[in-house]
Amino acid sequence: MLEATLEDHAARRLLDNIGDRLEHPGGLLDVLVDEIHDYERDVFATGGHGTWPALAEGTLRQKSGGQVLVDSGDLLAALTTSKDLLGDEAVVAADVEHAAYHRYGTSRMPRRDPTPEPGQQVVEGWARTALDYIVDGRR
């Protein structure tokens, strides 16, 4: 008769850690918020991934840096540094009044969405990041 003994301590520890991370999602939310902040930095650095219209000449003369959607820096800061964990939710963005004007445009200003929906590749990357964190705690 052949007898095999299986030590399952490591597997139980791994499953316990996964359970803890799922039961207390704050760490996972931190990881995902960091990913969203990086995405927003990229949106601003690339002019809405190349979709934002150029600034009018008059606007360029008034701005110090010339970066589209960055004047005071409030909107960019709100989208790349804010992190409010509300129970099992994370809120990324702050109460920046002029954000809606940029998102939808006005009769005097073209639409420049500061929070465009991410593409499939970006979302899949976020999913891989989330799974890595859930399974083994990697950030």
Give per-residue pLDDT as tens, 11-35. 788 888 888 888 888 888 888 888 9
Q: Write out the residue range of the structural domain in which residue 120 sits.
A: 26-136
According to DSSP, the residues that pair with 65 across neighbouring strands are: none
Task: Check residue 106 and report its DSSP letter.
Answer: B
The answer to whether residue 1 is domain-embedded is: no
The answer to whether residue 13 is domain-embedded is: no
- In whole angstroms, what separates CA 10 from the centre of its chain? 33
Looking at residues 81-101, what average pLDDT do you find? 68
Angle 5-6-9 from CA coordinates, rounded to 5°: 135
pLDDT-derived band at 91 (thresholds 50, 70, 90) equals low
pLDDT-derived band at 85 (thresholds 50, 70, 90) equals low
The answer to whether residue 38 is domain-embedded is: yes
The 10s digit of each residue's pLDDT in 54-63 is 887 877 777 7
The answer to whether residue 32 is domain-embedded is: yes
Max Cα-Cα span within the chain? 88
Number of domains in the chain: 1
The answer to whether residue 15 is domain-embedded is: no
Query: What does pTM read for this prediction?
Result: 0.77
The answer to whether residue 94 is domain-embedded is: yes
Start-to-end Cα distance in the chain:
46
Pick the residue with more confidence: 4 or 3? Answer: 3
